[in-house]
Amino acid sequence: MRTVINNIATYLPSRVVTNDDLSKTLDTSHEWILTRTGIERRHLVSDGEFASDLGIVAAKRVIEQADFDPANLDAIIVSTTTADRHFPSCGARIQGEIGAVKAFAFDVGAACAGFIYSLTIADSLIKGANLKNILLVCCETLSRFVDWTDRSTCVLFGDGAGALLLQSSNDDHRGIISTKLYTDGSKEKYNSILAHNGPQNDHRGYTTMKGQSVFKYAIECMDQSVTEILTENDMTFDDVDWIIPHQANRRILESLCKMKNFPPEKMIITTNEHANTSSASIPLAMGYGIESGMIKRGHTILLTALGAGLVWGSAILRL
Ligand code: UT7
């Protein structure tokens, strides 16, 4: 039994904000943002547009693309750490909006590694609980959780969503081959990305980040999980067609290639267009890779991500 990705759709909000736009209100420049991060522009939500709104559009697109009846969904898993509200979940709202009457729905909060966490849960539900059809939605609005006067964080993030239709299959040549998850919340110094706007802080405050330490951990942790998952599956980079990493910073991805020998020609990078969209970044990059004709059915794809927690992980799948 395999969990296969049969369709993927994405959605980016229509408002595009360039680095030059930001430099009109912030002490920053296109050159600084581009050379430090690789980001050129980002899509941002407008007033009244929230994470579940983005997720609903992506979900409807994937259902239409697959010509699939949402009444046949067994579960909806939504990855988000920037939900509209603490409760009800984005999953519940999306379930109601798309008419998935039979599906149970819930949110997963694993920051920028949320897609790989959600994929692992979906795979377990299909293999362990005999579910047939799962909708996985990643929808994020980091722009609502940053201080737009803090140049060290606000320039880094974008908003967006991706949705995947995951189905059980007997085709052993396709589907999720392996996933691997890690968490290290034990050391205070590791908790270097914090969204402060919760009850502990009377709902005030925004995201802060110790950029340089996260940069270092991103390289070490993603290298560790990729090395371990490839070794455990008796694979090397030669067995992989594409690597799709979390798109936080182009320099992190270039460092993985230079310092850890990741093959640059196999890496899909969308940081310039999307910025850091947290857990939506891998589905958005995967959607781009498919639409542009790079990723084809039968290709083997290696995913890796790290986020606040720290949480990180990798996955290998064949499309
Ligand atoms: O998605 C979860 C994972 N997150 C990440 O992986 C993010 C990892 N970290 C990073 O991507 C990078 O550390 C940043 C892009 C956040 C920062 O780049 P950096 O090369 O580490 O810069 P820095 O923080 O060391 O700052 C260098 C200088 C500072 O000025 P001084 O102290 O040298 O005078 C900053 O104040 O750049 C200044 N600076 C800016 N200047 C212009 C910080 N932000 C800006 C800005 N525009 N937007």
Report the predicted TM-score, pTM, of the whole model to 2 decimal places. 0.97
- Give, for ligand 1, the residue of 19, 31, 36, 255 to mutate: max count of ligand atoms closer than 8 Å to Cβ: 36
pLDDT of 189: 67
**Does 217 share its domain with 112?**
no
Closest residue to atom 9 of ligand 1, CA basis: 211
In the predicted structure, residue 188 carries a pLDDT above the cut 70: no
- 248, HSE (Cβ side, Cα atoms, 13 Å): 26
191, pLDDT greater than 80? no
Tens of pLDDT, residue by residue over 51-73, are: 999 999 999 999 999 999 999 99
Which is the closest atom of ligand 1 to the Cα of 278? 1
Centroid of ligand 1 to alpha carbon of 144 (angstroms): 20
Number of domains observed in the structure of the chain: 2
Q: Which of 169, 199, 220 is the last residue of a domain?
A: 169
pLDDT in tens, 237-290: 999 999 999 999 999 999 999 999 999 999 999 999 999 999 999 999 999 999
Ligand 1 centre and the CA of 130: distance in Å? 46
What are the angstrom distances between the C-alpha of 116 and each of 16, 62, 73, 297, 317? 27, 19, 20, 20, 11
Q: Give the closest residue (by CA) to ligand 1 atom 36.
A: 152
Supply the range of the domain harboring residue 37.
Answer: 2-169
CA-nearest residue for atom 13, ligand 1, is 211
Quick: pLDDT tens for 152-163: 999 999 999 999
Q: Write down the pLDDT at residue 190.
A: 66
Residues 18 and 57 in one domain: yes
Q: Report the separation in Å between the CA atom of 36 and the middle of ligand 1, taken as the mean of its atom positions.
A: 7
Report residue 63 as tokens: 């259902």
- pLDDT at position 303, please? 98
Which domain CATH number covers 64?
3.40.47.10
Mark whether 154 and 251 lie in a shared domain.
no
User: Quick one: 117 and 227 in the same domain?
Assistant: no
Using the predicted structure, report yes or no on whether residue 313 has a pLDDT greater than 90. Answer: yes
* Nearest Cα to Cα of residue 98 among 84, 78, 118, 114: 78
- Alpha-carbon span 140 to 147, nearest angstrom: 16
Ligand 1: residues within 6 Å at CB? 28, 32-33, 36-37, 112, 151-152, 155-156, 193, 211-212, 214-215, 218, 248-249, 252, 276, 306-307
